[in-house]
């Protein structure tokens, strides 16, 4: 019984470390205006209307101004955070 518990704890630790590793990779791809990603790095104007698939996405209309706080690089260059 103790050995099974030890194995489960080990798997939990490995899972946690793997999760941390992927977080580090994602943050290395993130470009921000400051360390906390709180300062706007650019101000853009929407060229088309956009309605996101769920509440995590910003909806906007053509001509609206968007403040961009961070951008991902590499494969997801078109993924930005803003308001």
- 54 falls within a domain: yes
Question: Is the whole model's pTM more than 0.85, yes or no?
Answer: no
Neighbours of 55 (CB within 10 A): 7
Strands 65-72 and 42-45 come out as antiparallel
CA distance 83 to 73: 19
Structure tokens at 49: 């209307």
Which domain CATH number covers 70?
2.30.30.40
Residue 10 domain-assigned? no
Residue 11 resides in a domain: no
The answer to whether position 15 is within a domain reads no
Reported as half-sphere exposure (CB side, CA atoms, 13 A), residue 58 has a value of 16
Residue pLDDT, tens place only, 25-68: 456 678 887 888 888 888 889 898 999 888 888 888 999 998 88
> How many distinct structural domains can be found in the chain?
1
Residue 61 lies in a domain: yes
In a domain, 75, yes or no: yes
Structural domain including 75 reads 29-82
């Amino acid at each position: 019984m103790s050995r099974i518990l030890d194995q489960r704890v080990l798997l939990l630790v490995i899972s946690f470390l793997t999760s941390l590793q992927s977080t580090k990779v994602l943050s290395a791809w993130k470009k921000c205006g400051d360390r906390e990603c709180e300062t706007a790095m650019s101000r853009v104007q929407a060229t088309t209307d956009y309605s996101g698939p769920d509440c995590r996405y910003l909806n906007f209309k053509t001509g609206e101004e968007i403040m961009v706080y961070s951008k991902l690089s590499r494969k997801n260059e078109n993924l930005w955070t803003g308001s």
